[in-house]
Structure 1
Amino acid sequence: MRRLRSPCPSPPSLRRLAGAVGLAAAGLVPVIATPASAATSVDVSVDASRSLASIPSTAVGMNVAVYDGYMNDSPVPGLLKAAGIGAVRYPGGSYADIYHWKTNTTDGGYVAPNTDFDAYMGTVRAAGAQPIVIANYGSGTPQEAADWVRYANVTKGYNARYWEIGNEVYGNGEYGASWENDTHSSKSATTYAQNLLEYATAMKAADPTVKIGAVLTTPGSWPDGITGPGDGADWNHTVMSIAGSKIDFVVVHWYPGGDNAADLLTKPQSQIATITATLRSLIDQYAGANAPNVGIAVTETNSTIDKDTHPAALFAPDAYLTWLENGAFNVDWWNLHNGASGTTTVNGATDYGDEGVLSNASGDEPPAETPFAPYYGIQMMTRLGAPGDTLVPATSGRSLLTVHAVKRSNGDVDLLFVNKDPSNAYTANLSYSGFTPSPAAPTVYTYAQNATSITSATAGSATSQTIPAYSLVVVQLHPGGGGGGGSTCKVGYTKNEWAGGLTAGVAVTNTGTSAVNGWTLAFAFPGDTKVTSAWNATVAQSGTAVTAKNTSYNAAIAPGASASFGFQGTWTSDDAVPAAFTLNGRACTTG
């Protein structure tokens, strides 16, 4: 028996809850490709000297659900690993609020065989990923959730760090629409926040290292801004005012939709920065001194238009990377398997209306575990970067050609192009700051429209690349001769670690020909390291981003000389070494 979980609702036409048979395709206008004309030139600039964010190990996530009989199929761990999936969310959207982990049962729902928590963890571990778990708020208790934490991390040693309290709890009828199970007598945001505190207290008593996530409404989407009965403000302000200082991350879901595929593909650039800025403002307003440590997780997203064909493949990496560039630490696609909900033809390809990235052989779908187009879109990100690498700014002169850039820990700079134009190729004329590319032809990976694999070739140059119409292209660039693409600094980072703590020493060497008079070293932690004290520098931290400024006695660094400082810190699950450093805004080599 297959159960679908449809996206979160957004008026005026509310989408259905878990168990609904899917969304109608009426009103969606397909993009029709026309023969390509000669490539149009577009100026693209990359600034490798600046850091937007470090790629976390939890960055690229995927949802799974207990009603999915293919969840733990033998090919799944390999497919997850090949797509670079670093986090897997369980037990499945709205099912979380009816699911009881001890008995592997739901209140009125279907649970497929071999989908219990231990089976799920076997797949997660085999894929080299981390678990993200939704505690049952709808019909569960703080004690049930605390027992789950204790079993997972104390009894079994699964190191499950990230726990959401409920799914889309605001869909419990408080604002009129009801798709989320909630057996509490009061459905208000106030009640949720008060209970959230009870969950957090009980769960952290079982394991103080767990991270607790609060469910918020997506800023700008229903029911954001609406004050419900019994509350003095809307959901987000109410929840954060009560619980903001006690949580570790906030959770939103993002199903942008659109009038058609072309409209959908504008949404990452038009919406995400505004959403994250609003969330960060809420966090800063209510989380107090802990605000820099409170993360943003987007634990469900999907194109919802042309769901398993090429438009969704273009949307997926653009969405993930834009969220990460704007500060999210986790983005989870809905869903691993979901099921056919009506067949249409999109640009010559069959779309099954399946929000999963892998077939479950329902309806007219191909054999189970056959990857759909969004799978390859997500997989293209593995060619761009890895956890610990640094997202850096990149801009394009055309809105239909989006570009994302990563500085690798080895000094390489890789670019991912998203050509959203179904008719035209674009020739990117590339320029760089803080990086001098090798003159050799780069390696280029391409996922073309309606393709069933990613191809690679040595093509173009570091200054000119042609991006085919409606394609994803990754260009991998090595630095030129002369050490790190024109860098005039080198950073050495050493650490002495123990469970939950570390000390680190940082040496900054001036490899240029002019003296440095006053310096600021910037870097980002890939994991959850927190600086608690420092010496020989003034160190400040905001989230994962760190700056270290000289003291009065080590401001000058002569050519060939070094300045050193150190710090002590704490960590919970990951104290990985920063991948990239900048000195006064210019990229440094490492080693």
Structure 2
Amino acid sequence: MHKARSRAVSAVLLALATLSAPAAAPAAATASISAAPAAEAAPVAVSVNARGALATVPQTGIGSNHAIWDSNLGTDETADRLKDAGVKLLRYPGGSYSDIYHWADHTAPGGYVAPNTDFDTFMRGVRRTGAQAMVTANYGTGTAEEAAAWVRHANVTKGYGVKYWEIGNENYGNGHYGAAWEADDHADKSPAEYARHVVAYSDAMKAADPSIKVGAVLTTPANWPDGIIAGGDAGTWNNVVLSIAGPKIDFVVVHWYPGAFDKAAHVADMIQLTRQQIAANAGPGSERIGIAMTEFNTGTSSGGATTQPGALAAADAYATLLANGVFSVDWWNVHNGIGTVSQVEGHTDYGDFGLLSSGTCTAAGDVCEPALNTPFAPYYALQMMSRFARPGDQFVRAATDQPKVAAHAARRPNGDLAVLLINTSSDTSYPVAIGYTGLTPAAGAPPVLTHTNGATAITSSTAGSATSQTLPPLSMTTIVVRPAAAQAGLPGAPGQPVASNVTDKSATVSWPAASAGARPIAKYEVYRNDSGVSEQLGESRGTSLAVANLKPGTRYTVNVIARDSGGGVSWASPPLTFTTGTPATSSCSVRLTNQSDWGSGYVGAIDITNNGAPINGWTLGFDWPRPWQSLGSGWSAVWTQEGSHVKVVNEPTGGSLPTGGSATIGFVGNYSGPNVLPAVFTLNGTVCTTR
């Protein structure tokens, strides 16, 4: 969808070269949301779990796209704005233009190329911004040799040191699945053909510079055409691409345009499913393969692109994606041009998917954007993110009991803890009561950063306390909490844990030893940290622990800490996530297969086998893992759903299952988020083995 808009906007951007838009925005753009005071609610409980360490903030985490149709791509003012926002990665040459762009002569047949947007100009801006570059090589109309020559020019001739190189952009949009927005001159448009070329591109490009990292395009879980198997293909786009190109790539590329605040709840499953696909298909050593979100935006055609709701959704999504280990999240776009104009939360939304104003007007000339390079609200979301979670910090678990308020937290190397609080309510000011696990905050008012609806800057103050703040409506707030007492000589953090011998109810967790501090290490403690609450699973004097009493088919995220002989506690290990299975043997077994998928639903087949005594009358039960899943219809049995639980009862003439007997039933499952399949089934109350 955004690709069509990108091409359509080129005409606007061409006009931008000669158009001088009025410097002043319409009065509504600066109007206050309301003169009435905001309502105030009961305190929101916020829990911050300092033992629940997540991903470390990457150097390239805060990114944005640049486009060759943007005549302001190479200006110092643009670069300086991006630097002030904390942008650390810039992607070039811009969306679908990547597959028509030829770098050597700076042309894009069929598209518009603005003056002063060639690669060397782009790199000058990258350096002024203080960022790294990500370049998308032309797959659609280019060759491996052309891409290799680009690498050689960039890193050997010019010495730019461009580390990240993608092969093509959204190449599944080449018509293979029915929709065509991406240029692709290859007669064979299948994922297998794309993957074979990724291998050739990688070999040629790394011959020019072996130090580069090469990325391949994947579909995003629960986003079209993820899950679909086209005619003649051996599997989905992701499975085929990874199985062929996996050994030759260093990262994968996904794109996401959620357009809503509540979609951040999808992120953990989205990234976990992507990692599972990589592990299952990319071959030995696939753990080296990173994940980059090289296009992301929270705006919609109905508004929110340049106003505070889009900014709040952006901050929440950036924090969630980076905490789940994505190494770069890249906003679409630096400049994009005016779109559908509307009023959102008391302010003019220009329908512009850029961080900065293009200074353009509607076709009728009745509405014009603010002056060129004026920041839109999402700009301040990136700026807040860069101040909240800095490269080298480590995200930790945080949660709230109020859906309108989101919380994130990150520990800094000096022991300070930054807490980001996002209030999405339009009219309610929420007081928050913040509780901490694994950290005792210092007394006194902490430093506070705040951005509110319509504000043109992030304000700094010293207010409230580490445990009590008040969040204005439609606001982002970061507080920096210092520990009550710094402790010297603490142990180092244990290394990356691994799981082995995982069954339905147990697992063995092992980890590299921590380095001792001033005192010997007395023991290690293992904590489950799947939410804002920390649960100790056990402790060990060695470097492994057999954990029991787990639930079948459940995802666990754990961290390990070291405790010394004086009670001093280390920082938490990196996180380990594993999923328990079902019983190795049972009186019943179940196989669920996804027979066909269309991106928002699928046909599932369930094979039930009775391994025990003969059964005359059976009931199968299972739960949908996620709230965005539901039963559409079912057959060969009587299907009902109550809450998240599905109950399947045999038909009157099909209730007999002799020993070794089986039955096959089917259903349509609907989903509107990452589709984590049910994993635990019971037959007449007994947990079955899932095959």
TM-score range, shorter chain: 0.7 to 0.9
* Contact preservation (8 Å) 2:102, 2:142: yes
> What is the identity, as a one-letter code, of the residue corresponding to 2:138?
N
1:124 aligns to what? 126
- CA distance change for structure 1 residues 242 and 452 in 2, over 3 Å: closer, same or farther? same
1:582 aligns to what? 572
* Contact preservation (8 Å) 1:334, 1:356: yes
- C-alpha distance in structure 1 between counterparts of 2:183 and 2:90, whole Å: 22
1:393 aligns to what? 397
1:509 aligns to what? 517
Alignment of 1:540-559 (within 5 A): 558-559=565-566
- CA distance change for structure 1 residues 382 and 18 in 2, over 3 Å: closer, same or farther? closer
Deviation at 1:383, TM superposition (A): 2.4
- CA distance change for structure 1 residues 197 and 464 in 2, over 3 Å: closer, same or farther? same
1:39 aligns to what? 41
Q: Secondary structure at the match of 2:410?
A: strand
- CA distance change for structure 1 residues 328 and 442 in 2, over 3 Å: closer, same or farther? same
Deviation at 1:97, TM superposition (A): 0.3
Deviation at 1:17, TM superposition (A): 5.8
Deviation at 1:521, TM superposition (A): 11
- C-alpha distance in structure 1 between counterparts of 2:378 and 2:561, whole Å: 43
> What is the identity, as a one-letter code, of the residue corresponding to 2:490?
C
* Contact preservation (8 Å) 2:359, 2:372: yes
* Contact preservation (8 Å) 1:212, 1:249: yes
1:268 aligns to what? 264
> What is the identity, as a one-letter code, of the residue corresponding to 1:109?
G
Per-residue CA deviations over 1:494-523 (Å, capped at 9, x if unaligned) read xxxxxxxxxxx9842155xxx64344899x
- C-alpha distance in structure 2 between counterparts of 1:557 and 1:428, whole Å: 34
2:70 aligns to what? 68
Alignment of 1:235-254 (within 5 A): 235-254=237-256
2:446 aligns to what? 442
Q: Secondary structure at the match of 1:357?
A: coil
Deviation at 1:18, TM superposition (A): 3.6
1:297 aligns to what? 292
Q: Secondary structure at the match of 2:329?
A: strand
Deviation at 1:191, TM superposition (A): 0.6
Contiguous gaps of at least 5 residues in structure 1: 1-5, 9-15, 23-31, 258-263, 494-504, 523-536, 540-544, 551-555, 563-579, 586-591
Q: Secondary structure at the match of 2:355?
A: coil
2:275 aligns to what? 280
> What is the identity, as a one-letter code, of the residue corresponding to 1:301?
F
Deviation at 1:315, TM superposition (A): 1.0
- C-alpha distance in structure 2 between counterparts of 1:445 and 1:253, whole Å: 30
Deviation at 1:288, TM superposition (A): 2.6
Q: Secondary structure at the match of 1:222?
A: coil
Contiguous gaps of at least 5 residues in structure 2: 11-32, 362-367, 495-512, 528-541, 545-556, 576-691
* Contact preservation (8 Å) 2:54, 2:574: no
> What is the identity, as a one-letter code, of the residue corresponding to 1:438?
A
* Contact preservation (8 Å) 2:491, 2:521: no
1:145 aligns to what? 147
* Contact preservation (8 Å) 1:174, 1:229: no
* Number of aligned positions between the proteins: 500
Deviation at 1:584, TM superposition (A): 11
1:404 aligns to what? 408
- C-alpha distance in structure 1 between counterparts of 2:493 and 2:309, whole Å: 43
1:323 aligns to what? 321
* Contact preservation (8 Å) 1:256, 1:267: yes
Per-residue CA deviations over 1:252-291 (Å, capped at 9, x if unaligned) read 100113xxxxxx110112x111211110100110223322
Per-residue CA deviations over 1:365-408 (Å, capped at 9, x if unaligned) read 11111101110111111221210011010111111100000101
Greater Cα shift, 285-294 or 194-203: 285-294
Deviation at 1:120, TM superposition (A): 0.5
- C-alpha distance in structure 2 between counterparts of 1:127 and 1:446, whole Å: 24
* Contact preservation (8 Å) 2:393, 2:410: yes
Q: Secondary structure at the match of 2:166?
A: strand
1:475 aligns to what? 479
- C-alpha distance in structure 1 between counterparts of 2:573 and 2:57, whole Å: 20
TM-score when scaled to structure 1?
0.80
Residue 58 of structure 1, aligned match among 26, 42, 60:
60
> What is the identity, as a one-letter code, of the residue corresponding to 1:266?
D
Deviation at 1:547, TM superposition (A): 9.2
Larger Rg: 2
- C-alpha distance in structure 1 between counterparts of 2:356 and 2:75, whole Å: 11
Is 1:19 matched up with 2:3? Answer: no
Deviation at 1:20, TM superposition (A): 2.5
Per-residue CA deviations over 1:434-486 (Å, capped at 9, x if unaligned) read 211110101111100111111111110111111111111111111112x15xx
Deviation at 1:245, TM superposition (A): 2.3
TM-score when scaled to structure 2?
0.68
Deviation at 1:7, TM superposition (A): 2.2
* Contact preservation (8 Å) 1:521, 1:583: no
- C-alpha distance in structure 2 between counterparts of 1:431 and 1:142, whole Å: 54
- C-alpha distance in structure 2 between counterparts of 1:212 and 1:143, whole Å: 15
Deviation at 1:113, TM superposition (A): 1.1
Residue 171 of structure 2, aligned match among 148, 169, 172:
169
Q: Which has the higher contact order (CA 8 A, sep 6+)?
A: 1
* Contact preservation (8 Å) 1:63, 1:334: yes
1:375 aligns to what? 379
Greater Cα shift, 71-80 or 157-166: 71-80
- C-alpha distance in structure 2 between counterparts of 1:86 and 1:121, whole Å: 13
2:630 aligns to what? none
- CA distance change for structure 1 residues 203 and 547 in 2, over 3 Å: closer, same or farther? farther
Deviation at 1:491, TM superposition (A): 3.7
* Contact preservation (8 Å) 1:510, 1:560: no
* Contact preservation (8 Å) 1:538, 1:548: no
Is 1:353 matched up with 2:351? Answer: yes
Deviation at 1:310, TM superposition (A): 0.9
Deviation at 1:581, TM superposition (A): 3.6
- C-alpha distance in structure 1 between counterparts of 2:558 and 2:200, whole Å: 33
* Contact preservation (8 Å) 2:217, 2:253: yes
* Contact preservation (8 Å) 1:510, 1:516: no
Residue 434 of structure 2, aligned match among 427, 430, 433:
430
Residue 199 of structure 1, aligned match among 198, 201, 216:
201
- C-alpha distance in structure 2 between counterparts of 1:423 and 1:510, whole Å: 52
Cα RMSD after superposing both structures: 2.9
